[in-house]
Amino acid sequence: MKLRSLALASTLALSALSAQADELTVGVTTTGVPFTFVDTATQKPTGAMVDLAAAIAEDLGDTPEFAINQFSALIPALETGKIDVISAGMLATDKRKEVVDFSDTVYSYGDGMFVAADDDTAYQLDDLAGEIVGAQIGTTFADKLQAKGIFKEVKLYDSLVDIMRDVKLGRIKAGFGDLPIIAYQVGQNPALGVKLVEGYEPMGIGDVALAVSKENPELLAEVNASIAAMKESGELAEIFAKYGL
The answer, as to whether pTM is greater than 0.75, is no
Report the distance separating Cα 227 and Cα 38, nearest Å.
24
The pLDDT assigned to 196 comes to: 97
pLDDT for 6 beyond 60: no
For 167, left (φ over 0), alpha (ψ -120 to 50), or beta? Answer: alpha
Mean confidence (pLDDT) of the chain:
91
CA dihedral sign of residues 35, 226, 106, 134: positive
Burial of 18 (0-12, 13-18, 19+ CB in 10 A): exposed
The sign of the dihedral angle between the CA atoms of 153, 120, 34, 219 is negative
Partners of 28 in the β-ladder: 68
Q: pLDDT of 17-67, one tens digit each?
A: 444 458 999 999 988 889 999 988 999 999 999 999 999 999 999 999 999
Percent of the chain scored above 70 by pLDDT?
Answer: 91
In the chain the domains, ranked by start, together with CATH numbers, are 20-106+209-241 (3.40.190.10), 110-203 (3.40.190.10)
